[in-house]
């Protein structure tokens, strides 16, 4: 296959040979821009390397050696932004920022950006960041966490990272970055309109408006196109200029001097004042959106030609000549030498090993372990008397905050109010507003705060008020939190424990939005752990293990709390107190996959979790009176289920009834049925009782679609063959 020809390359080379380079766009001197002649030449070299890599990526794709060609052409001015920042400033980058990556690498001796990026292009397992799993811009040494084709989903965690810089100081712990860092977050004008971006910008403004430190520079790379949809002229400026608590600056991304001037001012402002800055970088998009994008289908030939005439390499070369830094012939030699070097390294990269097996691909889903930072001996004494689930969770949180100095809670109304159900009551008064943080009402921003702080070495425990409220923010877990170790080979992690109040049966509020019984959104995220207690003692053991998993194993964990059981005290009769639990103490942890067992009967095993376990225990006396020897198995963990252990717990039983309060389609009961059968359990001996595939209504019908005590009794009696019922002792 012949290699593609690129008009922007021909235009650039022709301009160098004829001397038809454009004049500088701004009357700026080198000193006014804060650059020396050598530094300007270095920035241009980064631009040239970025361009040559873009073109080589498309040549590799034409040969079926490369796989991802969304490029940086037209956005090469980001090299000047990198130069204006410190190489230790964390950078959450737009996917068009290869020039930024290259320039930062030039600031850190011993890095090899050409080789690294080409290994990424060809999906080699030797790619030092993603190991061949994706073409990403990322490097641990360069403090650039990997981002993929993000549509603004990295903005919330960038805000969280900026917030965490001062938070780490208040917690008295060291973070991953210097305390006086500035966070850089870049994105396109199309992404600017995404609700996630707007939520992050609003949270940044809200935080700064309250006087809290937030040193972040947002860079909006405005090329005027969201793939094929034009961005209205002056839209970005109109939307951001004058926005409360965010400084608006603008610069010309086609001009290295003006870009460096603007970026330097933005960085100085954010660092000195600890306030957010919005840097509006006007640039141009060349070569279309990506290799598969046929821009001639929505742009005229004249429009494409006009964009190509705005090539930042043309203007960069013009600056070098105008300021006497390099001649046109020297620039031509530089370009040709760079292109040849890129091609030679690309040929080597094509021969490097690739991922081949599922095991190799999945090796980085689970992050590496690290030493615990829990305080030895620190803690809170046990509760003296039995208590319901909410009180025991509150006490466990108290103990965990005392033991883990880098742990903090964050969520809506969790501070002075103590949460909707009082689960975090009195914790803010004891530990302070920096340990128990009342947040803006935006789930994406709550999770973003947690992810960014986890990037910085803290241990966040965000709260989502209701499971139904997670869905508008779920990509923060799926697309950001759970993928970070995968796309960085475990070099970057964002361990956290997300507390979510959920499931059904609660009586305080009604309807779907406070009774969401769908867990599929969590269970299908690779590497995500979900714990769900049915009683207070288990809640303590599970929560303490969840925090250990995040702290030591760097896992992303969800702790799902059944709302209906928060304040439940009684099991069979009023005031029997049988669902109150005893605090098992600070060292009690229920390991991942460990099951809860009640009873030793072999006629019937009821396999369930949360409210289903409670209902099964309520049904137990009636089933026992019917002569059924009963066993109840509590899953406790709803992902990473140890199915061998589950099978061992029920294999000697005549029948198994799975009680699943979630919807029949997409529920954990489907997985349990399949895995038991795969291990040889006779499907005829299995049955399941689930919720209907319905939303939950309001009022007296609120539990009509859900499993019930009576329903469990009915299904159990129908399932168990009377001939197999053992005589009650």
Q: What does the alpha-carbon distance between residue 297 and residue 573 come to, in Å, rounded to a whole number?
A: 72
Tell me what the mean pLDDT of segment 178-185 comes to: 97
The pLDDT of residue 728 is: 39
Beta strands per DSSP E along 80-152: 91-92, 137-139, 144-147
Contact yes or no for 223/285 (Cβ under 8 A): yes
Active site residue 514: yes
Instruction: Give domain limits for the chain.
Output: 7-359, 389-565, 596-724
- For residue 46, pLDDT beyond 90: yes
Phi then psi for 609, rounded to 5 degrees? Answer: -160, 160
The pLDDT of residue 603 is: 97
Residues of the chain with pLDDT > 90, as a percent, come to 91
The pLDDT of residue 729 is: 33
> 452 by DSSP, 3-state: which?
helix
Q: How far is CA 647 from the centre of its chain?
A: 34
The pLDDT of residue 507 is: 77
The pLDDT of residue 723 is: 66
SS3 of 131-144: the string is CCCCCCEEECCCCE
Tell me what the mean pLDDT of segment 97-120 comes to: 97
Residue in the block written with tokens 């701004």: 26
The pLDDT of residue 1 is: 43
Tell me what the mean pLDDT of segment 377-398 comes to: 91
Could you report the per-residue pLDDT of 402-430, keeping only the tens digit for each? 999 999 999 999 999 999 999 999 999 99
Buried b (16+ CB within 10 A) or exposed e, 627-660: ebbbbbbbbbbbbebbeeebbebbeebbbbbbbb
Tell me what the mean pLDDT of segment 667-695 comes to: 96
Which residue intervals of 274-327 are DSSP H helices?
301-308, 312-322
- Please state which CATH number belongs to domain 7-359: 3.40.50.970
Q: How far is CA 64 from the centre of its chain?
A: 31
DSSP state of 355: -
Q: How far is CA 572 from the centre of its chain?
A: 43
Pick the residue with more confidence: 291 or 122? 122
Residues of the chain with pLDDT > 70, as a percent, come to 97
Tell me what the mean pLDDT of segment 109-138 comes to: 96
Residues 6 or more apart from 638 whose CB is under 8 A from it?
A: 519, 522, 523, 530, 531, 532, 560, 609, 668
Q: What does the alpha-carbon distance between residue 89 and residue 263 come to, in Å, rounded to a whole number?
A: 13
Contact yes or no for 103/83 (Cβ under 8 A): yes
Could you report the per-residue pLDDT of 616-651, keeping only the tens digit for each? 999 999 999 999 999 999 999 999 999 999 999 999
The candidate with the shortest Cα–Cα distance to 75, out of 189, 233, 228, is 189
The pLDDT of residue 727 is: 47
- Mean pLDDT (the chain, rounded): 95
The pLDDT of residue 149 is: 64
- For residue 476, pLDDT beyond 50: yes
Domain 389-565 fold: Rossmann fold (3.40.50)
Residues 6 or more apart from 401 whose CB is under 8 A from it?
A: 407, 408, 409, 427, 430, 431, 435, 436
Q: What does the alpha-carbon distance between residue 9 and residue 3 come to, in Å, rounded to a whole number?
A: 13
SS3 of 695-710: the string is CCCCHHHCCCCCCCHH
Residues 6 or more apart from 485 whose CB is under 8 A from it?
A: 364, 365, 366, 367, 492, 493, 527, 554
The candidate with the shortest Cα–Cα distance to 243, out of 200, 187, 181, is 200
> 236 by DSSP, 3-state: which?
helix
Q: What does the alpha-carbon distance between residue 595 and residue 549 come to, in Å, rounded to a whole number?
A: 17
Q: What does the alpha-carbon distance between residue 662 and residue 690 come to, in Å, rounded to a whole number?
A: 6
Same fold, 7-359 and 596-724: yes
Q: How far is CA 446 from the centre of its chain?
A: 12
In the set 260, 514, 572, 588, the catalytic residue is 514
Q: Pairing relation of β-strands 604-608 and 630-634?
A: parallel
Could you report the per-residue pLDDT of 223-271, keeping only the tens digit for each? 999 999 999 999 999 999 989 999 999 999 999 999 999 999 999 999 9
Computed on alpha carbons and rounded to an integer, the radius of gyration of the chain in Å comes to 29
- Tell me the C-alpha to C-alpha distance, in Å, between residue 676 and each of 206, 319, 671, 683: 51, 70, 9, 8
- Tell me the C-alpha to C-alpha distance, in Å, between residue 609 and each of 54, 534, 606: 52, 6, 10
Of the listed ranges 215-219, 377-381, 452-456, 519-523, the one predicted with least confidence: 377-381
Residues 6 or more apart from 479 whose CB is under 8 A from it?
A: 150, 153
- For residue 208, pLDDT beyond 50: yes
The pLDDT of residue 514 is: 87
Could you report the per-residue pLDDT of 490-544, keeping only the tens digit for each? 999 999 999 999 999 987 667 888 889 989 989 999 999 999 999 999 999 999 9
Tell me what the mean pLDDT of segment 435-448 comes to: 97
The pLDDT of residue 725 is: 64
Q: What does the alpha-carbon distance between residue 185 and residue 246 come to, in Å, rounded to a whole number?
A: 14
Contact yes or no for 530/541 (Cβ under 8 A): no
- Please state which CATH number belongs to domain 596-724: 3.40.50.920
Residues 6 or more apart from 271 whose CB is under 8 A from it?
A: 180, 182, 215
Tell me what the mean pLDDT of segment 553-581 comes to: 97
Q: What does the alpha-carbon distance between residue 568 and residue 141 come to, in Å, rounded to a whole number?
A: 51
Tell me what the mean pLDDT of segment 550-557 comes to: 98
């Amino acid at each position: 296959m012949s290699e593609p020809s690129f008009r922007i390359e021909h235009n650039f080379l022709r301009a160098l040979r004829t001397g038809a380079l454009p004049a500088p766009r701004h009357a700026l001197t080198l000193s006014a821009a804060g650059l020396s002649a050598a530094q300007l030449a270095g920035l241009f070299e980064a631009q040239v390397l970025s361009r040559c890599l873009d073109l080589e990526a498309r040549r590799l794709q034409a040969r079926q050696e490369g796989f991802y060609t969304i490029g940086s052409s037209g956005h090469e001015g980001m090299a000047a932004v990198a130069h204006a920042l410190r190489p230790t400033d964390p950078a959450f980058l737009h996917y068009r920022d290869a020039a930024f990556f290259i320039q930062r690498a030039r600031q850190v001796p011993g890095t090899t950006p050409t080789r690294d990026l080409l290994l990424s292009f060809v999906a080699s397992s030797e790619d030092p960041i993603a190991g061949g799993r994706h073409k990403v811009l990322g490097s641990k040494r360069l403090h650039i966490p990997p981002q993929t084709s993000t549509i603004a989903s990295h903005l919330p965690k960038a805000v969280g990272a900026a917030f965490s810089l001062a938070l780490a100081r208040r917690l008295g712990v060291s973070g991953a970055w210097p305390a006086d860092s500035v966070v850089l977050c870049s994105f396109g004008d199309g992404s600017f309109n995404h609700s996630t971006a707007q939520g992050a910008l609003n949270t940044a403004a809200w935080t700064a408006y309250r006087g809290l430190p937030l040193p972040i520079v947002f860079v909006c790379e405005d090329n005027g196109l969201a793939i094929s949809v034009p961005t209205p002229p002056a839209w970005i400026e109109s939307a951001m200029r004058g926005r409360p608590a965010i400084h608006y600056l603008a610069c010309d991304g086609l001009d290295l001097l003006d870009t460096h001037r603007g970026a330097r001012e933005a960085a100085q402002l954010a660092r000195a004042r600890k306030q957010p800055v919005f840097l509006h970088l006007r640039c141009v998009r060349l070569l279309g959106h990506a290799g598969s994008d046929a821009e001639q289908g929505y742009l005229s030939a004249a429009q494409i030609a006009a964009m190509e005439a705005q090539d930042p390499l043309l203007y960069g070369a013009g600056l070098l000549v105008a300021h006497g830094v390099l001649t046109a012939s020297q620039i031509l030699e530089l370009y040709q030498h760079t292109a040849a070097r890129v091609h030679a390294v690309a040929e080597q990269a094509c021969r490097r090993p690739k991922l081949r097996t599922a095991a190799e691909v999945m090796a980085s889903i689970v992050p590496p372990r690290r030493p615990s930072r829990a305080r030895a001996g620190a803690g809170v004494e046990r509760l003296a008397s039995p208590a319901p689930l909410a009180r025991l969770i509150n006490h466990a949180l108290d103990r965990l905050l005392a033991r883990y100095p880098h742990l903090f809670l964050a969520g809506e109304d969790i501070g002075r109010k103590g949460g909707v159900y009082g689960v975090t009551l009195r914790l803010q008064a004891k530990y302070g507003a920096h340990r128990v943080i009342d947040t803006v009402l935006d789930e994406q921003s709550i999770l973003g705060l947690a992810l960014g702080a986890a990037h910085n070495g803290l241990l966040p425990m965000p709260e989502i008020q209701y499971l139904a409220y997670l869905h508008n923010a779920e990509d923060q877990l799926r697309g950001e939190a759970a993928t970070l170790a995968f796309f960085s080979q475990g070099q970057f992690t964002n361990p956290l424990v997300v507390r979510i109040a959920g499931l059904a049966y609660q009586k305080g509020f009604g309807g779907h939005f406070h009774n969401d019984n769908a867990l599929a959104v969590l269970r299908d995220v690779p590497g995500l752990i979900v714990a769900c207690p049915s009683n207070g003692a288990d809640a303590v053991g599970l929560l303490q293990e969840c925090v250990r998993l995040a702290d030591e194993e760097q896992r992303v964990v969800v702790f799902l709390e059944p709302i209906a059981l928060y304040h439940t005290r009684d099991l069979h009769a009023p005031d029997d107190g049988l669902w109150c639990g005893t605090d098992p103490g600070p060292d009690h942890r229920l390991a991942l996959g460990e099951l809860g067992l009640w009873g030793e009967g072999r006629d019937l095993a009821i396999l369930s979790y949360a409210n289903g376990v409670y209902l099964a225990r309520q049904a137990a006396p009636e089933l026992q009176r019917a002569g059924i020897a009963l066993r109840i198995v509590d899953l406790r963990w709803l992902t990473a289920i140890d199915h061998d252990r589950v099978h061992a717990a029920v294999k000697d039983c005549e029948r198994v009834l799975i009680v699943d309060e979630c919807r029949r389609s997409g529920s954990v009961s489907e997985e349990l049925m399949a895995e038991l059968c795969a291990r040889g359990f006779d499907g005829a001996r299995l049955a399941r009782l689930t919720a209907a595939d319905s939303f939950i209504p309001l009022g007296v019908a609120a539990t009509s679609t859900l499993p019930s005590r009576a329903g469990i009794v009915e299904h159990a009696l129908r399932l168990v063959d009377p001939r197999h019922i053992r005589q009650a002792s």
